[in-house]
Amino acid sequence: MTDTHTPGPWTAKPDLVEGFFRIEGCDPVFSDGGGAVFADVYPWRAGAIDGAGEAAANARLIAAAPDLLAALQPLAAMGDASVRKAILATLRPHERDSFIAATDNARDAIAKATGGQS
């Protein structure tokens, strides 16, 4: 069985009363398109100068995860052997290392996000 994440888009909504951010994703069960709450992000470092700002930044990064994953998948696909060879042939020598690093990094990030699934 393959695990899948909550469908995007995800949103980070502040709870101004409690001081945390709620991460919501689309839930196909809700016919009105309502969100499914699946994470709360709190300021976590004691003594942090801007704990709320850090929590907001973390919440935005988490909420962007489905979009980031979708953006990386085509880049990672360019790293497949036959495609990579064709693309490398069109690049200048100084561009090749950057391309290889970008496709390898994309593949690594996808593996991290999907638990090693491609």
Structure tokens at 48: 């942090």
Alpha helices in the chain (DSSP H): 51-63, 65-77, 81-90, 93-114
Tell me, what DSSP letter sits at residue 106? H
The per-residue pLDDT string of the chain (118 residues; one tens digit each, 9 = 90 and over) reads 467 777 788 989 888 777 789 888 876 555 455 567 888 898 876 555 566 788 889 999 999 999 999 999 999 999 888 899 999 999 999 999 999 999 999 999 999 999 886 5
pTM (2 d.p.): 0.77
Give residue 1's pLDDT.
44
User: Is 60 within 8 Å of 7 (Cβ atoms)?
Assistant: no
The residue assigned the tokens 């497949």 is 80
User: Is 55 within 8 Å of 42 (Cβ atoms)?
Assistant: yes
- Which H or E run contains 20? strand 20-26
Give residue 69's pLDDT.
94
